[in-house]
Chains A and B, each alone.
Chain A
Amino acid sequence: MADRRATGSLERAVLERLWLAPEGATPGEVRRALDEDLAYTTVMTILRRLWQKGLVDRELRGRAYAYTAKTSEADLAATGMHAVFTAASDRRAALSRFVDGLSKRDEQALRKILDKTDG
């Protein structure tokens, strides 16, 4: 479990490097840019996994692949949010929404209130 989370945050760190390199980066370049001291094969594995997930593109550059990010940060956030939403609606978890759902009658009453006060 801890292992999986660690991999997830590494993937995230690698993606962040790729966002900063719009022209693409090879595993070696990504490895040098990362703060953490990682083996070349680790970085290569993470990049390949990202590619398999469809999050990055790659093209052969010399003898190595150069990787470019396909998704932006906002896209990734939206995916994460989607998971949170699903969990929340499944389990009624302790999530505080600003506003909850409305019944038909409440909806009409609220429209009336807004019409009156906005005028």
Chain B
Amino acid sequence: MKLSLLLPLALVLAAAGGLGLVQHRLRPRIAAWALTGVAVAGAAAATSVLLTMAFAFVHGVPWFGHRMLWCVHLTSTAGVATWALGAVTTGWSVMAVVRVRRRRSAYRALRAAGAQGPEVEIVAKGAPTAFSLPGRPGRIVVSESMLACLPRAEQAVLFAHELSHLSHRHDRFIHAADLASDVFPLLAPLASRVRYATERWADEDAAEAVGDRAIAARAVARAALAQNDAGPRLGLGLAGLGVLQRVEALMAGPPSGRIPAATLVATATSAIVVAASSTLQLHHLAMVAQHVCRMS
């Protein structure tokens, strides 16, 4: 297999690793955009590799008479290797389709739940919890037991945080990154990072809304402990991307006014990666077109 085939994917994974290293120094908003962009570029690169593999397989199958000449340039196989390639290609495609369909139906169900009922719903029963449901207009659900744990100023933090999720459409960032990781599972850590970036983004908005970072930090800490006391549950994210880090980030003081170098580097890197991988994919597409034209 030619290196140029895997280059876009390698670039994306390198960028993802790099972004991961600097995420805590980026503004959450920029981190969310950059991480989501790289995840989507990764999914596109993975899809193009998958397509090339499929073509190479068809080319390698004897009774097709080696029609897909163009992809010999990228990958050529013979004998057992062809069938191995076919098996991998089929397995990967089936997995991707199943996972994407499942994700999309879950997302649709969630949006449907967010579209009905009051925009803010206080649930009388149940353990302390608070969450938002995406959609139009979206819905914030909080249990009475959660509100009872928080002083009034901290309740405002909670609502401002969830409102930020809804008004900035954070569900779209998360859903895009989730879909990318469904197509190419190596991108899963990126999806967790996107999730964390949107939480931080909402935390910063909430801190600004109440005008006091310490109150915002305490609200997040107290809510997490209340939820934990009612029934411990493991976090969904990666280690080091949890509630504790959010509280520490809020206590550490506001992000500085000037744009940090890390942000510039991250934005530039993501832009270059997205551009480079799409150029390579365009190149591959052009080769397909050329070949198809020559045949007809």
Contact = CB atoms under 8 A, between A and B. Distances in A.
Q: State the majority secondary structure of interface residues on A.
A: helix
B113 interface: yes
A78 B234 contact: no
Interface string A65-108: 00000000011011011001001100111111111111100110
20 contacts: A74-B123, A80-B117, A84-B110, A87-B109, A88-B110, A91-B102, A92-B236, A94-B107, A95-B132, A95-B133, A98-B146, A98-B161, A98-B162, A99-B224, A100-B237, A101-B233, A106-B244, A113-B247, A117-B214, A117-B218
Contact of A110 (B133, B134, B141, B243): B243
Nearest to A90: B106
Closest 4 CB pairs of A and B: A98-B130, A101-B233, A99-B224, A93-B106
A95 B233 CA distance: 16
A14 B174 CA distance: 37
Contacts of A93: 103, 106-107, 109-110
B123 A81 contact: yes
Interface string B172-194: 00110010000000000000000
Interface of B: 102-103, 106-107, 109-110, 113, 117, 121, 123-126, 129-134, 141, 146, 158, 161-162, 165, 170-171, 174-175, 178, 198-199, 202, 214, 217-218, 220-225, 227-228, 232-237, 239, 242-244, 247, 251
Given A78-B125, A96-B131, 4 more contacts: A81-B126, A84-B113, A88-B110, A110-B243
B123 A99 contact: no
A39 interface: no
Interface residues of A, number: 31
Nearest to B175: A94
B125 A99 contact: no
Contact of A91 (B103, B133, B237): B103
Contacts of A2: none
B129 A97 contact: yes
A96 B225 contact: no
